């Protein structure tokens, strides 16, 4: 795979630069926007990394990201229940979410291995059908911390649990570097870099490189005596675990744990981001995820106020939808064209 940045990435980068110029012309606070772009970037970055193992094993896009997210939510709820706070609280939440992530990942993998060839669409519906089940679970789960429950009646988890007293913004406020007016959240970026490095390292190991090979040529691997389904399962579980960690990072920045239907809103943006980064189907690299997340999130961050200012209010949501879904469609078209060549 050549790592050259290709035309679509150049166009999107140019578009982003154009937005910055436009924002400046409209008199917006550029340093604040840049600082915001860093936070947004890492906030979503780990969720995008959750795409990589599945794509590389040839299982397709992780449209079932909500499965991993739910595992992360369970982990965070347990951490809140145990009243864990600060960095330790955050790490505790991640650790607690690994167990549900592995269990759910195995089930997810079992289903995807049964629908070989149609993983993308199956994964979307796994996400959609899993959320209502979880909605039920959230209302009856035996959590007792009052801060998590509905204020009235004190039964069932509330849709938005504040992390203020637990581990909200712990990474954001870690080692913040001030460069003039721009603040760079070093701790957050370092944490993200660490996760990237872990994923990168994994693909250098034996089981990581088998995963790449399976993604490239399943038949070949099978004829070499590799247990395809096992490799695919590993990839899916790994994606799910990264997804769980991803939502923990997201939630600590956001300041709230969002339950119920919220997990659904993360999968398409994450898929979009890695596609914008230059991944087209078979092989996804860390660089795709990093570049894609930054471009996607920053464009969204900028286009929202700009669109609101020069077009109509609420335009931002429309722009977001067009970018997110349009890029997925574009990637499918491109994949198809490649396949036919």
Binding site for another protein (CB under 8 A): 1, 206, 210, 213, 216-217, 219-227, 283
Instruction: Give CA–CA dist 241/96, Å, rounded.
Output: 11
Instruction: Give CA–CA dist 92/85, Å, rounded.
Output: 9
Q: Which residues contact 338 (CB under 8 A, 6 or more apart)?
A: 280, 281
- As to burial, measured by CB atoms within 10 angstroms (0-12 exposed, 13-18 middle, 19+ buried), residue 289 is buried
Q: What is the closest distance, in whole angstroms, from the C-beta atom of residue 219 to another protein in the complex?
A: 4
By beta-carbon proximity to another protein, the closer residue of 165 and 207 is 207
By beta-carbon proximity to another protein, the closer residue of 74 and 221 is 221
Dig out the tokens for 184 from the structure.
């760079």
By beta-carbon proximity to another protein, the closer residue of 43 and 213 is 213
By beta-carbon proximity to another protein, the closer residue of 6 and 227 is 227
- DSSP summary character for residue 6: P
Q: What is the closest distance, in whole angstroms, from the C-beta atom of residue 37 to another protein in the complex?
A: 34
Q: Which residues contact 225 (CB under 8 A, 6 or more apart)?
A: none
By beta-carbon proximity to another protein, the closer residue of 139 and 209 is 209
Q: CA dihedral in degrees (99, 101, 106, 107; nearest 10)?
A: 110
277 touches 293 (CB < 8 A): yes
Q: What is the closest distance, in whole angstroms, from the C-beta atom of residue 56 to another protein in the complex?
A: 12
Helix (H) or strand (E) holding 257: strand 256-258
Q: What is the closest distance, in whole angstroms, from the C-beta atom of residue 1 to another protein in the complex?
A: 7
Dig out the tokens for 198 from the structure.
């872990």
Dig out the tokens for 238 from the structure.
């790994």
CA 206 to centroid of chain Cα atoms: 25
Q: What is the closest distance, in whole angstroms, from the C-beta atom of residue 230 to another protein in the complex?
A: 9
Q: What is the closest distance, in whole angstroms, from the C-beta atom of residue 231 to another protein in the complex?
A: 10
By beta-carbon proximity to another protein, the closer residue of 175 and 220 is 220
């Amino acid at each position: 795979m050549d790592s050259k940045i290709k035309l679509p990435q150049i166009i999107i980068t140019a578009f982003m630069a154009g937005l910055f110029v436009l924002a400046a012309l409209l008199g917006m606070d550029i340093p604040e926007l840049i600082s915001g772009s860093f936070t947004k970037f890492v906030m979503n970055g780990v969720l995008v990394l959750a795409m990589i193992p599945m794509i590389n094993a040839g299982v397709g896009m992780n449209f079932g990201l909500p499965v991993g997210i739910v595992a992360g939510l369970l982990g965070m709820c347990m951490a809140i229940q145990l009243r864990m706070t600060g960095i330790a609280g955050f790490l505790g939440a991640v650790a607690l979410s690994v167990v549900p992530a592995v269990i759910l990942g195995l089930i997810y993998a079992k289903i995807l291995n049964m629908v070989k060839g149609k993983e993308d669409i199956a994964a979307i519906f796994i996400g959609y059908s899993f959320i209502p089940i979880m909605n039920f679970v959230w209302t009856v789960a035996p959590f007792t911390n009052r801060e998590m429950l509905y204020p009235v009646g004190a039964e069932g988890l509330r849709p938005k649990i504040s992390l203020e007293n637990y581990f909200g913004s712990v990474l954001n406020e870690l080692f913040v570097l001030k460069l003039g007016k721009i603040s760079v959240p070093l701790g957050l970026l370092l944490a993200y870099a660490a996760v990237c490095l872990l994923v990168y390292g994994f693909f250098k190991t034996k089981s990581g490189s088998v995963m790449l090979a399976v993604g490239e040529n399943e038949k070949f691997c099978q004829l070499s005596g590799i247990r395809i389904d096992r490799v695919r399962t590993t990839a899916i579980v790994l994606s799910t675990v990264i997804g769980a960690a991803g939502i923990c990072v997201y939630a600590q920045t956001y300041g709230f744990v969002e339950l119920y239907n919220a997990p659904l809103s993360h999968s398409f943006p994450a898929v979009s981001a890695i596609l914008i980064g230059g991944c087209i189907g078979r092989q996804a690299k860390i660089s795709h995820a990093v570049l894609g997340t930054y471009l996607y999130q920053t464009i969204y961050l900028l286009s929202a106020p700009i669109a609101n200012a020069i077009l109509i209010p609420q335009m931002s949501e429309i722009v977001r939808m067009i970018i997110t879904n349009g890029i997925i469609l574009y990637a499918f078209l491109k994949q198809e064209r490649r396949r036919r060549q």
